[in-house]
Amino acid sequence: MSTQLSFFLYSSRLAPDCDPSEVGAIVKVAREFNALHGISGILVFDGERFTQYIEGPESEIATLVTNLAKDRRHTDFLQLNAGDDLQERRYATWSMGYSDVSLEELDIELMATIDGDAALNLFTQAVADMDRL
């Protein structure tokens, strides 16, 4: 039987007492954990805000979301979209892709104010544009 695939998209803000230089370590640990647990996705950081898309087996995503929500290195954790009937992974080759962005490339604050599908479309479009660079 095939495993049910879930996805989750959120935005958050770097905690005031967390230095942006810590993000590299977050990504390194995330890549190792995700590779072991069948999770793929992309993390985007603009120097102040994060937005992250994760996908993988339902139970693994549920556990990671619980951990992310209580991680004190970021605040204002806001779910933007989620689903448990993903037919195909969007970022199968990325255990955790990472990109620094400017406001012109992706406005994370705007993403947090629009509805779920529009936020997901903005995210996937911005990531596709980055890939072409």
Ligand X SMILES: Cc1cc2nc3c(=O)[nH]c(=O)nc-3n(C[C@H](O)[C@H](O)[C@H](O)COP(=O)(O)O)c2cc1C
Q: Which residues pair with 6 in a beta bridge?
A: 56
What would the DSSP string read from start to end of 46-79? -SSEEEEEEEEEHHHHHHHHHHHHT-TTEEEEEE
Smallest gap from Cβ 4 to ligand X, in A, equals 19
Residues 58-97, one symbol each (x = binds ligand X by CB under 6 A, - = not), give: ------x--xx--x-xx---------------------x-
Strand pairing class (40-45; 97-100): parallel
Q: Which is nearer to ligand X, 71 or 107 (CB)?
A: 71
Smallest gap from Cβ 58 to ligand X, in A, equals 16
Q: Considering only residues 7, 40, 49, 50, which one is a binding residue for ligand X as defined by CB under 6 A?
A: 50
Which residues, numbered 13-42, are part of the site for ligand X (CB under 6 A)?
A: 26, 30, 33-34
Give the whole-angstrom CA distance, residue 76 versus residue 88. 29
Give the whole-angstrom CA distance, residue 25 versus residue 93. 20
Q: How many CB atoms lie within 10 A of CB 14?
A: 20
Smallest gap from Cβ 44 to ligand X, in A, equals 10
Tell me which residues touch ligand X (CB under 6 A): 26, 30, 33-34, 43, 50, 52, 54, 64, 67-68, 71, 73-74, 96
